[in-house]
Amino acid sequence: MQDTLRQNISDLENEILHIEENMIEFLRMKYEEGIKTSLHRLESDLKYLSILANGAPIDKNEDRRIRDFLRTHYNKLQKLSVPA
């Protein structure tokens, strides 16, 4: 159970990083539909990771690492916007 939970958290973190990379490319290409879809997926994955981390039986160091990851990527999410 613990290993599955850690794997899910790791997978979500990797997915979030991948989405952010795609968003940078979409912003460069001014591909609005891709940006909107990516923003929605990014927000959804961040929320899910937060839910998993809050209910997870993990040690405080791992918890702190996940919270720092979430804080960093929520800040990135706020900075990303759809071009007008």
Categorize the per-residue pLDDT at 30 as very low, low, confident or very high, splitting at 50, 70 and 90: confident
**31-82 pLDDT, tens digit each:** 989 989 999 999 999 999 998 888 777 788 888 899 999 999 999 888 876 4
CB 70 within 8 A of CB 23: no
CA angle 11, 12, 16 (to 5 degrees): 120
Domain positions in the chain: 2-79
Q: What is the model's pTM?
A: 0.86
The more confidently predicted of residues 57 and 16 is 16
Distance CA 84, CA 71 (A): 26
CB count in 10 Å sphere of residue 72: 11
Checking 68-77 for CB contacts under 8 A at 24+ apart, the result is: 69/13, 70/46, 73/16, 73/20, 73/42, 73/46, 74/46, 76/20, 77/39, 77/42, 77/43, 77/46
Q: What is the pLDDT of residue 39?
A: 92
